[in-house]
Amino acid sequence: MRIIRWRALGAALLSLALLAAACGDDDGSGEGTTDTATIASNLTFGGPPECPTRESCQIGLTAAGIEFADFKALDAGGPLTRTALEGGEIDVALLFSTDPSIAVNGWVVLDDDIGLNPVENITPVVRQEVVDALGDAFVGLIDEVSAKIDTTGLTELNRQQAVDGDDPAQIAGRWLDENGFNAFTQEVKPDFPVIVSSFNFGESEILAEIYAQVMERAGYTVERKLNLGNREIVKPALESGEIGFVPEYAGTVLNFLGETPTGDAAAVHAALVDAYGALGIAVLGYAPAEDKNALVVTAEVAAQYGLTTISDLANAAG
C-alpha cells in the first residue's frame, strides 16, 4: 500500500473545510446548523484498511470537508476494491491511476483539484551496503532500466496482469526482452545477494520482478521477498536489512519519512536522497512513470451527482 501523501494539504483544503463548516443556516437559537449534508455523506467509500489513518485518504479528505456515509476496508487498489465498485457495494473507490480496469469499465477518475497527491515517480531504493558492495555498474544498470519505464508502459503491464491474467514474472521477462535487456556478458559478480522486495499489490510485484530479473541476467545474485506488505512493514524491513531493494513511489515515501512532497519530481527526489541517506538507504534514479492514487466512481454515480473533481464531493447534497 502506497497511499501516504501530503502532510500539509495547503490553503485550498483549509478553504474547503471552512466552506463546509459554514454551509448550514443558523436559526438564531444558538443550536447550530440545520442542513450540512454533502454529496459524500450519501456515498460509501472503499479502499485499503489503513485509509482512515492516511493523510492522502480519509484524513486529507476530511480536511477538505469530505466525509462519507461509510468506509469499507478492502485492499490496496486490488480486486476487492474493483469488484466492490463494479457491484455497487461502494460508490467511490481508491484505485491506482495506472489501473487498466478504469478505462475498460468506463469509470471516472475525479480530478485531484485539492492537491491530495504529489508526484509519484517510480524510484528504486536500496541499502547503501548493497551499493558499496556492487558499485557503479550496478547503479548504472538499475538507472538504465528505470529510464525506460514510462506511465503508458506501466499501465500496459498492469493490463497484462489484471485483464490477461499473466504472471508478474512472465510480464517482467517480456518487458526486459522488448527493451533490450537480454544481452549481457556473464561475469562473476561480487558474491553479495540483493534481497528484492515489493509491496502487496500487483504493480509493485511486476516492478520488483523487472529489477530482480535484470540483476540476474547481468550476473548478480538475487533473493526475493515479494508481496511483503504495506509501507509500515516494508520500510522497517529495508532499514533492518531484512530486504535490500524495493521500487518505491517518490512522494508517498517522502511523506512517510516526515517530509512534505511537492509537484516537482526533481525536488522530491533530492529531498528523498537526503531523508533516506540519513538512514543508510541509497535512492537511485527515478523513472518517468508515475502511479498516483485516484478517487474513482462509476459513470452512473458521476452523472447522478455531477462529479468531475474531488472537491465536488464536498458540495451540498441536492
Tens-place pLDDT, residues 279-293: 999 999 999 999 988
pLDDT at 185: 79
Q: Does residue 165 register a pLDDT over 70?
A: yes
Nearest to 252 by CA among 69, 90, 11, 48: 48
Residue 31 binned pLDDT confidence (cut-offs 50, 70, 90): very low
Using left for φ > 0, alpha for ψ between -120 and 50, and beta otherwise, residue 65 falls in: left
CB 62 within 8 A of CB 14: no
Burial 236-245 (b: 16+ CB within 10 A, else e): ebbeeeebbb
Reported as a single tens digit per residue, the pLDDT across 258-270 is 998 888 999 999 9
Domains, the chain, with CATH or none: 11-23+35-117+293-314 (3.40.190.120), 122-283 (3.10.105.10)
Q: Does residue 255 register a pLDDT over 90?
A: no
Residue 14 binned pLDDT confidence (cut-offs 50, 70, 90): very low
Q: Does residue 34 register a pLDDT over 90?
A: no
Alpha-carbon gap, residue 113 to 94, rounded angstroms: 16
Question: Span 157-186, mean pLDDT?
Answer: 93
Question: Span 294-302, mean pLDDT?
Answer: 97
pLDDT at 35: 54
Identify which has the larger pLDDT, 23 or 87: 87
Question: Span 131-140, mean pLDDT?
Answer: 96
Q: Does residue 242 register a pLDDT over 50?
A: yes
Q: Which of 10-24, 103-117, 277-291 has the lowest mean pLDDT?
A: 10-24
Cα angle value 234/235/238 (rounded, 5°)? 85
pLDDT at 261: 87
Residue 9 binned pLDDT confidence (cut-offs 50, 70, 90): very low
Residue 259 Cα distances to 59, 66, 78, 244, angstroms: 17, 24, 28, 23
